[in-house]
Structure 1
Amino acid sequence: MATRSKGALVSIGNSPSDDRPSVEDDRPSVESAEDDRPSVGRALQQARIDAGLTVDEVSSRTRVRIPIVHAMEQDDFTRCGGDVYARGHIRTLARAIGLDPAGLVEQYDAEHGGRPEPTPAAPLFEAERIRPEPRRPNWTAAMVAAIVAVVGFVGFTVFSGDGKGSGKAVAGDATEPAKPSSSPHQNKPSDPKPSDSAIAAAPHDKVTVKLTAEDGSSWISAKDHNGRLLHEGVLKRGASKTFTDKKRIDLVLGNAGAIQLFVNGKEIDDRGEKGQVQRLSYTKGDPEAG
């Protein structure tokens, strides 16, 4: 019986060398290394623990609120208020606990869609340049207009006779010293008693009253027969006032004894004492106190 010789079995297909493990299979890939690294929040938390710091201490150093620090360590960056603030908080916390902020920010951008493109500055600049400037109010013109209005109102009041002191006073102002009058019916203040010719020269169809502050200043008031105010104020020492009316003149003397009083060209001696307030009324003809 014939016998078969056993031959060596030869593998057809792959060579033995193909069955050996490749050297490149033993090298860890770059992507697997990146996948094995901790997240941004986990890296911040681990670095803080390694530095021996609490969340409160990190918050005090960085001024980032405690709830935001807790959320960031849990990879919750929504409480930061946006990607820009999140990157800023990551840099701040990384510096406080001894990490490289650039690597963590780069990792954050990779995990959140990349860093946004910066906004071009040229269009914004053009918009600001062509924006019209608001007109400022012209305060100088407003002040000039207000002054003109006040002056016009005062002038209108004085010339219309509505203001005080716009009566029928024919003598000088109260601040001016008494001067000799050129009118035929007025006497000189320095004459103690008018002459008979001066009394006769006073008009008979009107009442004329002349006041001179001879011994001191006095507050005086004068009204006509209709009650209209002719003058009101202080008559200083040496000054005079003269008033005329067709029917009657009513006087109020605050310091009656200091006033030299002439009515229709005749001096009135009985006018009161110094410091005494007197109310007097005079009509046409011979002076008689009302």
Structure 2
Amino acid sequence: MDKEDKNQKSVNIGQLLRKARVDAGMSIDDVQKKTKIQKRYLEAIEEDNFAALPGDFYVRAFVKQFADAVGLNGSEFIQKYDQDLPGGENVNSIDNESREGQNYTGNQPEPAQSQQSSQRTARHDPSSPEPNHSGWNMRKLVPIVGIVIIVVIIIGVIWVGAGKLAHHNSNSASSTTSVSVSSDSSSSKASSSSKQKAAEDKAKAKSKNTKATGTQITKGSNENEYNVKTNEKETKVNLKGTTKSWSAVSVNGSQVWQGTLNPNQTHEVTIPANSKDFNVNLGNATATDITINGQKANLEKPANNGSAQVRNVTFKLTK
């Protein structure tokens, strides 16, 4: 398919989404409020200007959310027009090579057009030497064998140590001819007192930690809703990316920050006092940590096979 045909197909995606939005009686602002995606990204999608979006992954994520918001089935829409989205042909090429027996994972970044042509020629050249799979498998097997040996050694050490301990306890028991009832009672009381003291110390430490932070995070009605009980005047939300990830924060329905975090990069957003709730829109939830007033928010996995990456999480604030 030539470039002109490909561009024509890409135009159809924006036209289809725009038509569905108009048919649904929605404006771009309505879609932005529903999806929490920036208005300029939504306008770029309708204009098929996918280069304005953060990357190929976000193209598909945003198009799916756009389609769902205007009444279409986002998953079916993406599946139907996948080849017309950036990276679609590269995915198809990888599938074809997999059926031909090539060992290609599809995780490599998309190369330049000239590099793709040279790589296709190299892959289909009959004179090219076959990869040495046996040597690769042997290199892969060596660390596995080493791990197995280490595990066996550890188990052996534990076994020998347990045997010596059992033998020592047996000798100690045989050397003791009698034990008084009062000694047993004292030992039992001491053990009970020790356990009780440990439990009290643990409870005090937990209470002290709660008072120090003044913030508790609990799950709400579903896995995308959480309650935040805090005594702080202002709520500070810290976002940290473990890998490159896009995030946006909205307060009472209005977006106050959005951006892409690099690995180990953090960004702090201060939620104004007397705010009722705030929303965190995550482009890659599994690669983003959320901390509220020093307390980490542990997000539960979505139910019914929902997306664990693209998530829209609401935090309701209470005193």
Higher fraction of helix? 2
Q: TM-score, normalised by structure 2?
A: 0.27
TM-score scaled by length of structure 1: 0.29
